[in-house]
Amino acid sequence: MLAWDAGTQRYQEVTALETGQGLWLEFGGDGPAEVTVAVSDEHVLLSLEAGRNLVGWTGADGTPIEDAVGRFADTLRYAYRWDARKQRFDRYVPGGAFNTITELNRGDALWLGLATGTRWWQSGSGKTEFVFEDDLSPERRVEVREELASVIGFFAEHYGLEPPTLTLRVAEGSQADSLDLFLGVLPGKGTTLPITTGRARGTPLEGSLTQRYFGIVLREISSYTDTPWWTVQGAMAYGAMTHRVVAKGEYPDVFGRDWRAESASVVQELAELETSQLSAHGLGALAVDWLASHTAGVTVDSADATPQAPLHPPGNDTIIEYFRLLAVTASWQEAFETTFGIGPEDFYRAFETYRDELVGPLVISIGDPPAAALARYETEMRSAYAFLLETLGVGPFVYFLHLADEESGRRAVRELFKIPAPESGPYPCSLGGHHRSLYVVSCEHELTYRAFYNSYFAIVHSRVAEDVRWLRSGIEKYVELRYAASAGLRPYETELARLRVHGQRNQAALSQLTDLETWREFGNEKSWALALVAVDRLVEQSNDGALKEYFRLLPRGRPGHADYEPGAGSWEAAFEQAFGLTVDAFYEEFAEYRAGLSQP
């Protein structure tokens, strides 16, 4: 009886049996011999070497060979299995035309030829107890089991993290609402991992499951001993990103975009989140990414600050090492500096500088769009961004233009906006959304500054209190026309004169245009025109910088939340302080001004 030593690449006599070990058995005599071997039901994580490896299969009977070895990707060169009856090898070569191994059964031994060393997780979801609510369909239960097995396998093989014993509670629909869905809550000290698979909750199964599972594993190796809250949140989000980029093939830029957007919306500095229960997974992940880059000796450049597929090879990931050190060092500060090579205070200073540089627009190329288009749209976006900050003072914020070539456009539509794009035929080639847009350079129409401008204003309005319709829309139109004039696109006075004509045809008093219903009642185009004329008049008779002062004084955020800033207390108070008269006084003044304008 011989075993193969993959480290020395030679046979050795067997002195002790190990789970997952493959053996050569030679029998004497003329007849067959029967051997009964108990195959362990423990989970198995095998460490394999480059070259030949003789290992056993401890997974389920009838597992298709492609499923069993699929995660090896290009690392696997071949797999051979000895057929004792026929005294010959069956084989499997990835992509081969004459493979004779189609499935594996529990206890099979395999020769594996590998290009590089790796790990092999064979045991599905490990010792996980599944508790499914009665209304969960059989198909959904299978999906949850398969997804958890995929997640456990990834973290076992990629990081060497074997799963703890878990109880996974799964509910859907109204029952899911009563469970502790992970939305920033530290995983509990028990072994129960509640999760919802409800589509309406807005959290994809793989995202919620991956992030929460990784948090449980980190807790098992560290007990979260006295570590800042942001390191837990950030590590969980960063681990989930790594899984979805490596195992799911998603764009890493998508995660960088979301992390940067959150970093601009969280008003607290990272150091303030050491004990805060504020949910800031994206900001924490951005910090973890900075630390990973710093430890790997990669210069962190804010001009291209998007996480790439993992910086570290399996078994050498610094964030895992940090959590392992927490359990054996005197303080988290000591574990932090030992792992990352920088003290917490120095890190906080460097990170906040880096974070400040992340704001503003960024063009992200998908595929190979023309360099000239990248440069052009980067210039236009930054010009519009700078003008808005100078005029309104609302910021900072981030914005992403994903510029794709024709070949990559279809995939970009699916992955960035989650819109089903057919494999052939037409598809949306220009899409906009909060903080982001996509433009495929093969589109017949050109992307103009309005695409950036409209999205910027959506961000502006999301960060300040609501005011009345005429004022909000009038300011938006006023700033747009002023920007067009500054960019040399069209004269402001010409546009103002044209819109005055439309405004005078509006039969509404300005004080009536306070809500969307009335706005539409008097005609959308006429209402826009009258609002622009009113704001032009308001700014004309106010001090320089009145618009910026008005936005500075507006309440921001939601009352009772950590991000709330009361400003002047209301939009009416902000109006009076910024423009020097009450809203009612302006209504009267504008009515007189309007009456004095020449009639169309």
Q: What is the pLDDT of residue 39?
A: 59
Q: Tell which of 288, 321, 356 closes a domain.
A: 356
Count the domains in the chain.
Answer: 4
- Domain with residue 336: its CATH number is 1.10.390
Residues of the domain holding 366: 360-455
Q: What is the pLDDT of residue 198?
A: 45
Please give the Cα distance from 209 to 201 (Å, whole number).
14
Q: What is the pLDDT of residue 465?
A: 74
Around 598, how many Cα atoms within 13 Å sit in the side-chain half-sphere?
4
Q: How far is CA 181 from CA 193, 197, 525, in A?
A: 9, 9, 46
206 and 350, same domain (yes or no): yes
- Residue 487: inside a domain, yes or no? yes
Q: Tell which of 334, 356, 378 closes a domain.
A: 356
Pairing relationship of beta strands 51-56 and 109-114 according to DSSP bridges: antiparallel
Element (H, E) at 438: strand 436-440
Give CA torsion, residues 373, 375, 377, 378, to 10 deg: 150
450 and 476, same domain (yes or no): no
Q: How far is CA 526 from CA 176, 510, 519, in A?
A: 48, 11, 9
Cis peptide before 396 (omega within 30 of 0): yes
200 and 306, same domain (yes or no): yes
- Residue 173: inside a domain, yes or no? yes
Report which of 475, 430, 429, 428 is spatially closest to residue 456, judged by C-alpha positions.
475
326 and 185, same domain (yes or no): yes
Q: Residue 418: CB partners within 8 Å, gap ≥ 6?
A: none
Pair of tokens at residue 357: 């540089």
- Residue 462: inside a domain, yes or no? no
343 and 366, same domain (yes or no): no
Q: Where are the alpha helices (DSSP H) in 75-137?
A: none
- Which pTM was predicted? 0.66
Q: Residue 535: CB partners within 8 Å, gap ≥ 6?
A: 471, 474, 475, 477, 478
- Residue 460: inside a domain, yes or no? no
113 and 163, same domain (yes or no): no
- Give the CA radius of gyration of the chain: 31
Q: Tell which of 455, 475, 504 closes a domain.
A: 455
Pairing relationship of beta strands 436-440 and 398-404 according to DSSP bridges: parallel
Please give the Cα distance from 232 to 240 (Å, whole number).
12
Q: What is the pLDDT of residue 538?
A: 95
- Residue 156: inside a domain, yes or no? yes
- Residue 219: inside a domain, yes or no? yes
Report which of 445, 439, 448 is spatially closest to residue 405, judged by C-alpha positions.
439
- Neighbour-count burial for 417-454, b at 16+ CB within 10 Å, e otherwise: beeebeeeeebebebbeebbbbbbbeeeeebebebbbe
- Residue 461: inside a domain, yes or no? no
Report which of 485, 478, 433 is spatially closest to residue 454, judged by C-alpha positions.
433
Q: What is the pLDDT of residue 22?
A: 66
Give CA torsion, residues 134, 135, 139, 140, to 10 deg: -100
379 and 295, same domain (yes or no): no
Q: Residue 453: CB partners within 8 Å, gap ≥ 6?
A: 384, 388, 480, 483
491 and 427, same domain (yes or no): no
Please give the Cα distance from 192 to 210 (Å, whole number).
15
190 and 213, same domain (yes or no): yes
517 and 551, same domain (yes or no): yes
Q: Which amino acid is at 472?
A: R
User: What does each of the 600 residues of the chain score in pLDDT, given as a tens digit?
Assistant: 667 776 677 777 766 666 666 676 666 666 676 766 665 556 788 888 899 888 888 877 888 988 888 778 788 999 999 887 888 889 999 888 889 999 998 888 889 999 988 888 887 777 788 888 777 788 888 888 888 888 888 888 888 888 887 777 776 654 443 333 332 233 444 444 455 544 433 345 555 678 888 888 888 888 777 899 899 989 988 888 888 877 777 767 667 777 887 787 777 889 999 987 677 888 999 999 889 888 877 665 544 444 443 444 444 588 889 999 998 999 999 999 999 999 999 999 999 998 888 888 888 888 888 889 888 888 888 888 888 888 888 777 778 888 888 888 888 887 777 777 777 777 778 887 667 788 888 887 777 777 778 777 887 777 777 778 999 999 999 999 999 999 888 899 999 999 998 888 888 899 999 998 999 999 989 999 999 999 999 999 998 899 999 999 988 877 777 667 888 889 999 999 999 999 999 999 999 999 887 654
Report, in this order, helix, strand and coil percent for the chain, each rounded to 5.
45, 15, 40
Pairing relationship of beta strands 166-171 and 128-132 according to DSSP bridges: parallel
345 and 373, same domain (yes or no): no
Assess contact for 241 and 252: CB atoms under 8 A.
yes
3-class DSSP state of 234: helix
Pair of tokens at residue 57: 């299969």
282 and 320, same domain (yes or no): yes
Place of tokens 């106010």: 542
Place of tokens 């081969």: 96
Q: What is the pLDDT of residue 38?
A: 64
Q: Which amino acid is at 49?
A: E
To the nearest 10 degrees (0 to 180), the angle between helices 332-340 and 318-326 is: 150
